[in-house]
Structure 1
Amino acid sequence: WRVPPGERRGDVSARVIERLGAIELSAAPLRNADVRAALLEGLRTEEILTWTREAVALRDRMAFCHRAIGEPWPSMDDLIGLADRWLEPELSRARRRADLERLDVVAALKRLVPWSRRLEDDAPSHLEVPSGSRIRIDYSGEQPVLAVKLQELFGWQEAPRIAGVPLLIHLLSPAGRPAAVTADLASFWREGYRSVRAELRGRYPRHPWPEDPLTATPTRRAKPRQG
């Protein structure tokens, strides 16, 4: 692995060169094993793989599975140490950096999903809420987060747990701004909702603010304008 003069990115120099001073006596291609070792070193020291938003989200979900469930879900802390399990056969076929930059990280990461488990069962990407909306779950923190507008959860006594872990619910105003955060929805309806209702119903009069949110109809829409 080398960084050519004037360049910031490293790449594989796939030749073994014999020199006498400045004179090049011979040059031979590196063996596949040597190229692979050089690429692994590059993966450890530089950002080579293309981590799309989808790839990062998948990694976060799998990391959550390892924290919450443990085996057979692998740790995501040292992915390069697991290269044999998810970067092959592309890694052994690669001859330079660009070959790995083109790798489909999402497809590769899915090789780490244990054959005996289903990712959608252990860490679903979305959750359907009472309004019928399918809301994406954020697994980037220690606790999975569901960010959803408050009116969409009317009638929901308690959110389901994910792999035994309570969802951290970010209740949003009709404008999508945070209004409250809770991991205990039942307690929020009993103790926190009244103050949120008092604060926001004047600001958002076209949205429902029932006195009893558990018997109200969940909705993602505002009330029609009068007249």
Structure 2
Amino acid sequence: MDLADRLVGLERDRSPRARDALKLADRWAKAAGGGKGETVEPGLLLAEAFPERIAKARGKTGELLLASGRGAVLDATDHLARESWLAVAELGGGEARDRVRLAAALDGTRIEADLGRLIEIEDRLVKEPSGRMVIRRARRIGALVLDEKVIGAPDAKTMTAALRAEIEAEGLGALRWGEQATGLRARLAFLHGLDAGWPDVSDAALLEARADWLWPVLEGAKSLETISDGRLAEALRGLVPWDLQRKLDELAPSRLDTPLGSAGIDYGAEGGPRVEIRVQELFGVVTHPTVGGGRVPLTLSLLSPARRPVQVTKDLPGFWAGSWAAVRSDMRGRYPRHPWPENPAEAQPTNRVKPRGT
């Protein structure tokens, strides 16, 4: 119900009770420094008396947010439901939210002039969809935002503190791990599994050591998204003791050298370090490749010319001597223009097809 309608009804009421109420109100006005002849909007008086009940329309017609942060609802057929701002005099418990029983309209264009003392200014560091950090200034009355705008970028100290807080809240997943950093981390995890002298690069360990390797990376960064994959890899490499730095590529090379070039090693693969390579590129190889100083055989996923798996093995010589014959028979039928020697251990590696007519 609209408080303004009630007040009009009170003015028209000639009953002794109504007259007594008006006289009492007049005495209170004089005590407060006002008097007859002064007209103040009822909504403004309510807002001054109960600022936590100032309400702003949101969502569907009749849905409100109070300055206190609570939600409230007004019957959608009530003419006050079309107002953008209200001052609520009486609330009643609803099934899911408070229900407005008595309120008065507030002139939204007059809020700053009439209720300026209630307006608070709040500066917040906000991450935009682009990942850029900016300072947004909001003017609000409690939970109700009057307006909000970007006022600039944070200084370097504030930015670094914000990026640290983002890591503390979201963990290492907030960083953009690319192929280089992810690959190095997998290699270090593999070596740590062989020898505890290598750094532990699990999430828990890296977060515990964040001040040593990650905090320096955040200095000068504009957002976590701008920290490059290479910079992360460089920081991780800095965790490796000096005496082990030169052994990293020796014990856990990023690529396997082959007769025709090289192939990437996936140290994060299930079952241990793994290489996917066309089987024909390993013709002539008679020793199974290893990493970890010869301690760990690579898992070889051998592929057809169309790069479809034909065999997975940790014993290449055993494969040549055993199940190769069945694979060869199948491959000759599928890819007749490719060479499929009876003894691949003595054949020349290739990634070419046979000339036509041969």
Is residue 193 of structure 2 the alignment partner of residue 64 of structure 1? no
What CA deviation, in whole Å up to 9, does each residue of 1:68-93 have, x standing for no partner? 232133333322222122124233x3
Q: Which residue of 2 aligns with 1:106?
A: 233
Is residue 316 of structure 2 the alignment partner of residue 190 of structure 1? no
Contact 1:179 1:196 in 2 (8 A): yes
Provide the C-alpha distance between the structure 2 equivalents of 1:64 and 1:77, rounded to a whole number of angstroms: 15
**Greater relative CO (CA pairs within 8 A, separation 6+):** 1
Q: Which residue of 2 aligns with 1:141?
A: 269
Contact 2:284 2:347 in 1 (8 A): yes
Provide the C-alpha distance between the structure 2 equivalents of 1:114 and 1:215, rounded to a whole number of angstroms: 43
Q: Which residue of 1 aligns with 2:260?
A: 132
Range with bigger deviation, 217-226 or 162-171? 217-226
RMSD (CA atoms):
3.4
1:116 alignment partner, SS class:
helix
Is residue 278 of structure 2 the alignment partner of residue 154 of structure 1? no
Range with bigger deviation, 160-169 or 113-122? 113-122
Q: Partner amino acid for 1:224?
A: P
Contact 1:150 1:173 in 2 (8 A): yes
Provide the C-alpha distance between the structure 2 equivalents of 1:160 and 1:183, rounded to a whole number of angstroms: 9
For residue 190 of structure 1, report the CA deviation from its aligned partner. 1.7
Matches within 5 A, 1:17-36: none
What CA deviation, in whole Å up to 9, does each residue of 1:117-175 have, x standing for no partner? 2321121011111x322111111125111111111111212222110111000000011
Contact 1:85 1:111 in 2 (8 A): no
- Please list every run of 5 or more consecutive structure 1 residues that lacks an aligned counterpart in the other structure: 14-20, 23-28
Provide the C-alpha distance between the structure 2 equivalents of 1:80 and 1:193, rounded to a whole number of angstroms: 47
Q: Partner amino acid for 1:182?
A: T
What CA deviation, in whole Å up to 9, does each residue of 1:170-223 have, x standing for no partner? 000011111000011122112211111111111111111111111111112111
What CA deviation, in whole Å up to 9, does each residue of 1:87-115 have, x standing for no partner? 24233x35x8x343322212222212221
Contact 2:167 2:174 in 1 (8 A): yes
From the superposition, tell whether residues 90 and 218 of structure 1 become closer, same or farther in structure 2 (CA, over 3 Å). closer
2:167 alignment partner, SS class:
helix
Contact 1:12 1:38 in 2 (8 A): no
Q: Partner amino acid for 1:137?
A: I
For residue 10 of structure 1, report the CA deviation from its aligned partner. 11
From the superposition, tell whether residues 114 and 135 of structure 1 become closer, same or farther in structure 2 (CA, over 3 Å). same
From the superposition, tell whether residues 10 and 102 of structure 1 become closer, same or farther in structure 2 (CA, over 3 Å). closer
Q: Partner amino acid for 1:132?
A: L
What CA deviation, in whole Å up to 9, does each residue of 1:14-73 have, x standing for no partner? xxxxxxx79xxxxxx99x6x9766544421415432211222112111111111232133
Q: Which residue of 1 aligns with 2:348?
A: 217
Is residue 331 of structure 2 the alignment partner of residue 200 of structure 1? yes
Q: Partner amino acid for 1:134?
A: S
1 or 2, which has the higher helix percentage? 2
1 or 2, which has the higher strand percentage? 2
Match of 1:43 among 152, 155, 167: 167
Is residue 302 of structure 2 the alignment partner of residue 171 of structure 1? yes
From the superposition, tell whether residues 5 and 54 of structure 1 become closer, same or farther in structure 2 (CA, over 3 Å). closer
Q: Which runs of 4+ in 1 moved over 4 A?
A: 2-7, 9-13, 34-38
Contact 1:12 1:39 in 2 (8 A): no
Provide the C-alpha distance between the structure 1 equivalents of 2:127 and 2:159, rounded to a whole number of angstroms: 20
| Number of equivalent positions | 212
From the superposition, tell whether residues 11 and 68 of structure 1 become closer, same or farther in structure 2 (CA, over 3 Å). farther
Provide the C-alpha distance between the structure 1 equivalents of 2:202 and 2:233, rounded to a whole number of angstroms: 14
Provide the C-alpha distance between the structure 2 equivalents of 1:125 and 1:221, rounded to a whole number of angstroms: 26
TM-score (norm 2): 0.51
